[in-house]
Amino acid sequence: MTLIYQRQKLREDSEPCVLRIGKRLAGILRSLPQSGPLFPRLMKTGSKERAAEFRRRCRVVGIKGGTLHGFRYSWAERACRGGYPERFAQADPGHASKAVHRAYSRGAKVPCPPLEDYEAVEEKRVIPFQQAV
């Protein structure tokens, strides 16, 4: 249940990204070849060519304003909205610093839970102190 990949834009000796994956993604990945590159043809192209191809495909299906880099922003925003701990949200996409992650997640609309729900959760975490008699 772990996905490990090396970002092409980083040095070859840099640490790979390591993501724990959920059941839905695991199911999709099981239907694909078990070894080798996930996108073999894309490996042979540069980032500009991949971005241009993505724009062309978006145009064909009528999507406006989408970019490949937008997925990194949307992931960071989703992690922020979901309350994912910042250290995990920073590490998953390989952001080098908290500042970079915060810039990516800046557009997230985070709904606050009802105060009573939050208090109920916190009350369950409190371990009552029992004084010895």
Q: Cα(89)–Cα(67) distance, rounded to whole angstroms?
A: 20
Length of the chain: 133
Residue-by-residue pLDDT tens, the chain, 133 positions: 888 877 777 777 877 877 788 999 999 989 998 888 888 888 888 888 988 988 999 999 999 888 888 888 888 888 888 888 888 877 766 677 788 878 888 888 877 777 888 778 777 776 767 777 6
Q: What is the pLDDT of residue 92?
A: 66
Q: What is the pLDDT of residue 23?
A: 93
Residue 45 within a domain: no
Q: How many domains does the chain have?
A: 1
Q: Cα(71)–Cα(63) distance, rounded to whole angstroms?
A: 14
Domain housing 15: 1-32
- Tokens standing for residue 16: 């790979």
Residue 76 within a domain: no
- Tokens standing for residue 119: 């208090």
Q: What is the pLDDT of residue 62?
A: 93
Residue 62 within a domain: no
Provide the strand spans (E) within 1-133: 2-5, 17-20
Residue 130 within a domain: no
**Contact residues for 8 (Cβ-Cβ < 8 A; gap 6+):** 47
Angle between helices 98-105 and 70-81 (to 10 degrees): 90
Q: Cα(119)–Cα(81) distance, rounded to whole angstroms?
A: 19
Q: What is the pLDDT of residue 27?
A: 93
Tokens 């999507």 correspond to 63
Residue 117 within a domain: no
Residue 102 within a domain: no
Q: Cα(84)–Cα(58) distance, rounded to whole angstroms?
A: 30
Residue 46 within a domain: no
Residue 53 within a domain: no
